[in-house]
Amino acid sequence: MSEQPIELPPAADIEYGAEAPVTGQGRMEAAWGSSEGDEDMSAPQATQPTSTGHVFEQVYKPWQGTLNPRWMRNWAILRHHLLGIFKKGHRPWGMPTRLFVLIVFIASLSDAALTLLSGLIGDGSLHQLWGVSRDNLYGHVLGFFPRNVLYYPIVAALLVGSVISEDRQHGTSALYFSRPITRFDYVGMKFLSVALIQALVVLLTLALYYFAEIISLGRGWAWIMDTFPLFLAAFVSGMLLIFTYTSIGLALSSVSKGKFFPGIGLLSIVLGTKVLAVLVSTLFDREILYLLSPYDCMAHVGQILIGTQPTYDQYSWTWSLASLVAMNALALYTLSARVSSMEVTRE
Amino acid sequence: MVDELIIKTTNLTKSYGPHIALDNLNLAVKKGATGLLGPNGAGKSTFLKTILGLIQASEGEGTVLGHDIRTEGDAIRARIGYMPEYDALNPDMDAIHQVRYSGELLGMNPTIALARAHESLQYVGIGEERYRNIGSFSTGMKQATKLACALIHDPELIIADEPSNGLDAKAREYMIQTLTTTVRDGDRSVLMASHLMDDVERVCENIVLLHKGKLAAQGAIEDLKAIDREIEIHVWGGATRLAQALEADGLTVRREGRVMRIGHVGEDTTTRILACAAQTGAQVRRMHEYEASLEDLFLVIMENLGYEVKTSEDLLGSPAFARKVDAPAHMGGGGA
């Protein structure tokens, strides 16, 4: 604050007669006081305050909260991966993956949409073609090109690609294992999250397809009692498909540091073995190589579960089941062995 | 500061087949800041993994914050904050969500984890950059984010593996300051593994030195330094004669040209040095008690153990100013 004297007019200069001009000085003095004795006064004059800005102060803030138990930690992993498909702030799935999952989800609803359509327009032939039946339930999960070879295997390949390999690549395995997360919980939740995203595409659309028939055609309890075991069998077949693709895919992801190899590896295994078996079957009329194809083993078992006409007639379905069990066992063994070797200190 | 032990091991041994990574380790780490030192292959990583309960010790036992390392790994990892040496962040995530996720992995409620993530990132100096993808971060910001991940649940013990590695001077200074504040103001303990002796010396009051899986030294840095108390003299004329006279008088001498460091043997050491100087006609132009740095101490101990180690300058890739320090003869060194 600096102080500067203010010069006031001498009191003798002020006239109070009737002819005196109205200057407003009298009113000002009434309001603010007389100028008498103010001659030597000084008025304070404010100076412009200086802005100092915000100074960062490092303060350690303690936290007194309680950590939740194991299930909450596992839920965090599951939530992180699942919600990442839908919004930011969670696991950053790539845009191609999210887009392809959406496309396949919509495409997988085609039978549900056509069932609704046939119910709405009352067209029996259309319903015969698309309505719920043994073959169509099988077809929703395991049959019908391109669903069997393009939709679900590619969805699985895109999903499993980097789920474990990214933790090796970026060292984020340390983030998990330096916390009270066991290897079993880690791999279990990753497995479950990838499987659940696939279930959205495969099983949710299957359920919607089944309910579309009930709603559009007003099916009663008798029909439901008749067809529910078929739906359940298709559901179990779908779970088998998801489990197998996930276990093989994650095993490949666990031996890699990138997302390309696991994805292309899964597609090669699923499609390559199938193409090879088809070639051998066509050229030599020997179907035995289908036992090496995960897809064909699942299709064979699925056909038996749902009760459709088997298309593999040179060997029993139990061989396919045994082959499927062996494939999954090998994949899970590889997965567990590789995850056990993941480091906290360095990779 | 209370002298309670945060880490205690008794005959801790870890072997991988014939290779013994940790050999009968008897450690007692007090509350506060402790530096974990040792050359590559000394067993630091194995030690960290063992005390985190991630690998089972072959023999012996130990406790961290009162929890058994063999059976209570989960409880230990819930109460410590681990800052890994290498990148442990997803480059496609923004810092705030990465830190929040690290809190959720500890069992924190998502809302609380988010609030704490903001606090932790603010504390380590990541301001508005917290909304940026980690992939665009500098090394210093990544290190700070890793520290925020470790601090989110306000752990009692922070294990920081090479926290200032690869940082520029400013970021390094800030990291050191943050760790020091955490210990001093936060009343937390830090176990800091580092090759940078200066940093360890600034943050820690205690050190644990490992060598080939064995405990080479442990205790307060000041106490350990006192073991090698020396008097440094700058000599003009007759330095060689003086060195010989001092050695003849039973003193240990380390010499680099005109600068000599004579082992402190008692209150009369300075008198004996001056007497030798008078006898040989050498001029002592400067005489003072030499305070060894932690790096000197480290080098002396390691060289006495027969291990050729590099200085931190060497480790940082600039060996030009690496100091040549030999061990005193009574500790097995050859003298300079």
pLDDT digits (tens, 9 = 90+) for B155-184: 999 999 989 888 888 999 999 999 999 999
Selecting from B73, B88, B161 the residue whose C-beta is nearest the C-beta of A172 gives B88
Specify the amino acid at residue B182: T
pLDDT of B43: 87
Phi/psi for A291 (5° steps) reads -65, -20
The three-state secondary structure class of B78 is: helix
Work out the pLDDT band at A264, boundaries 50, 70, 90: very high
Please indicate whether residue B195 or residue B173 has the higher confidence score (pLDDT): B173
Please indicate whether residue B290 or residue A171 has the higher confidence score (pLDDT): A171
Q: Which residues are CB-contacts of B178 (< 8 A; sequence separation ≥ 6)? A: A58, B123, B124, B125, B144, B147
| All structural domains of chain B with their residue ranges | 5-220, 225-331
- Is B2 a residue whose pLDDT tops 70? no
B304–chain A nearest CA distance, Å: 29
A233–chain B nearest CA distance, Å: 37
Task: Return the percentage of chain A with pLDDT > 90, whole number.
Answer: 63
Q: How far apart are CA A190 and CA A80, in angstroms?
A: 10
Highest mean pLDDT of the ranges A1-10, A100-109, A142-151: A100-109
Count of all residues that appear for chain B in the document: 336
Please indicate whether residue A33 or residue B310 has the higher confidence score (pLDDT): A33
Interface test with A, best of B79, B97, B106 (most A CBs within 10 A): B106
Interface test with B, best of A163, A175, A181, A259 (most B CBs within 10 A): A175
* pLDDT tens per residue across span A81-106: 999 999 989 999 999 999 999 999 99
Q: What is the gyration radius of the CA atoms in chain B, in angstroms?
A: 23
Work out the pLDDT band at B322, boundaries 50, 70, 90: very low
Contact state of B125 with A179 under an 8 Å Cβ cutoff: no
Instruction: Find the residue in B nearest to A80 (Cα).
Output: B101
Q: How far is CA B109 from CA A69, A80, A86, A218, in A?
A: 11, 13, 20, 44
Work out the pLDDT band at B266, boundaries 50, 70, 90: confident
B221–chain A nearest CA distance, Å: 26
Task: Round the average pLDDT of chain B to a whole number and report it.
Answer: 84
Highest mean pLDDT of the ranges A40-54, A312-326, B202-216, B229-243: A312-326
Chain A residues inside the 8 Å CB shell of B85: 345-346
Contact state of A179 with B110 under an 8 Å Cβ cutoff: no
The three-state secondary structure class of B191 is: strand
B219–chain A nearest CA distance, Å: 25
Is the CB of B125 inside 8 Å of chain A's CB atoms? yes
In chain B, the DSSP E strands lie at: 5-16, 19-30, 33-37, 59-64, 67-68, 80-83, 157-161, 189-193, 206-211, 214-220, 230-236, 253-256, 259-263, 283-290
**Angle, CA A63 vertex, CA A61 and CA A68 arms, to 5°:** 155
Fold equal for B5-220 and B225-331: no
Mean pLDDT score, A337-345: 83
Contact state of B182 with A60 under an 8 Å Cβ cutoff: yes
Q: How far apart are CA A291 and CA A208, in angstroms?
A: 32
A100–chain B nearest CA distance, Å: 20
Read off the tokens for B62.
């130990």
Task: Round the average pLDDT of chain A to a whole number and report it.
Answer: 86
Chain A residues inside the 8 Å CB shell of B108: 65, 67-68
Mean pLDDT score, A322-343: 94
The mean-pLDDT minimum among A118-127, A133-142, B226-235, B294-303 falls in: B294-303
What pTM value is reported for the model?
0.80
Specify the amino acid at residue A173: S
Chain B residues inside the 8 Å CB shell of A79: 104, 110
Residues 133-152 of B with CB under 8 A from A: 149
Selecting from B104, B149, B182 the residue whose C-beta is nearest the C-beta of A76 gives B104
Chain B residues inside the 8 Å CB shell of A173: 88
| All structural domains of chain A with their residue ranges | 74-340
A49–chain B nearest CA distance, Å: 27
* pLDDT tens per residue across span A13-31: 555 556 666 666 666 566 6
Tell me which CATH homologous superfamily contains domain B5-220. P-loop containing nucleotide triphosphate hydrolases (3.40.50.300)
Work out the pLDDT band at B306, boundaries 50, 70, 90: low
Contact state of B88 with A73 under an 8 Å Cβ cutoff: no
Mean pLDDT score, A158-173: 91
B24–chain A nearest CA distance, Å: 22
Mean pLDDT score, B240-252: 90
Is the CB of B55 inside 8 Å of chain A's CB atoms? no
pLDDT of A236: 97
A24–chain B nearest CA distance, Å: 57
* pLDDT tens per residue across span A198-226: 999 999 999 999 999 999 888 999 999 99
**H/E stretch holding A4:** strand A2-5
- Is A320 a residue whose pLDDT tops 50? yes
Chain B residues inside the 8 Å CB shell of A162: none
Interface test with A, best of B40, B85, B101, B124 (most A CBs within 10 A): B101
Q: How many CB pairs under 8 A join A and B?
A: 126
Selecting from A64, A88, A177 the residue whose C-beta is nearest the C-beta of B54 gives A177
What class is the B225-331 domain? Answer: alpha beta
Is the CB of B129 inside 8 Å of chain A's CB atoms? no
Contact state of B123 with A62 under an 8 Å Cβ cutoff: no
